[in-house]
Structure 1
Amino acid sequence: KNISMRALALRRVALFSRQVIVALEPAAVSEAAATFAPRGITAEDTAVFLIGMAPFVWATVEFWRRIAVGEPFGTTSDSVIIRDTSGPDTLPERRRVLGRDAIITARLLFVAVGIALCLVVLAGLQVLGTAGPPVVD
């Protein structure tokens, strides 16, 4: 009953570390590696991916639409407009305008996203194109 909290915590750490060491013995690791088989892409995986992409697709369309028609980003008087600043200034005062550098940055970011999506599709096609895991005799 007189065991301090620190001593109790140290005993728990020691017990946990012994369990981890026992669990990571080479025989257990090699057995686990031999029984692993990739499951492929399921219909649920595809559904989750598509549902997860929906907000980003909507945000992309809305982003470029606002740039195309010159609508502001934001809902307060501190909103921002992204447009090419080479023409005459016809905007009301006190509105911040982001110029050509913001458009270039946005395009570069969307190119990076496009490359990432292409890599995801390529990886998916590679997984779907395989006949299954190799058979180990």
Structure 2
Amino acid sequence: MVIIHIKHKDESQFLIESTLGTPIENLVKSVVDMYNGRLKIGRICAEMEELAKHGTLYPPEILGLTEEQVEELKLTDPWGEKSIPSGGFTYWKDPVGRRNGKQPRKEMQDVLTNAVGDAKEMISKKLVLQECQKN
């Protein structure tokens, strides 16, 4: 077994374990999949943080419109009416206008925040340093 240290410039990204017999094409695919997966987890975490602050996203036809434009075009947010956060919500307007402002209560925000924290810990670049220090 071989442990490969993946870096971007001088910054450690992650470690990947492989064998000497692994073809380069397969190894490159594994590294790309791992790197893209970490980026995807980061994007999901960012969206979950925004969900905790401002509720669910508006549908695509409402995104980017002002409240006046939405009223004028008589558009509605059907999912916003169906997707009420567990335990209720408080209204906290999204300054960017991407979300409906139905902020979950503190208990649900804590659940989301803890899940984001756990996910970020699992993909943390600090894990590489810890593993390198062990060896």
| TM-score, normalised relative to structure 1 | 0.41
| TM-score, normalised relative to structure 2 | 0.42
Relative contact order, higher structure (CA 8 A, sep 6+): 2
State which structure, 1 or 2, has the greater radius of gyration over its C-alpha atoms.
1
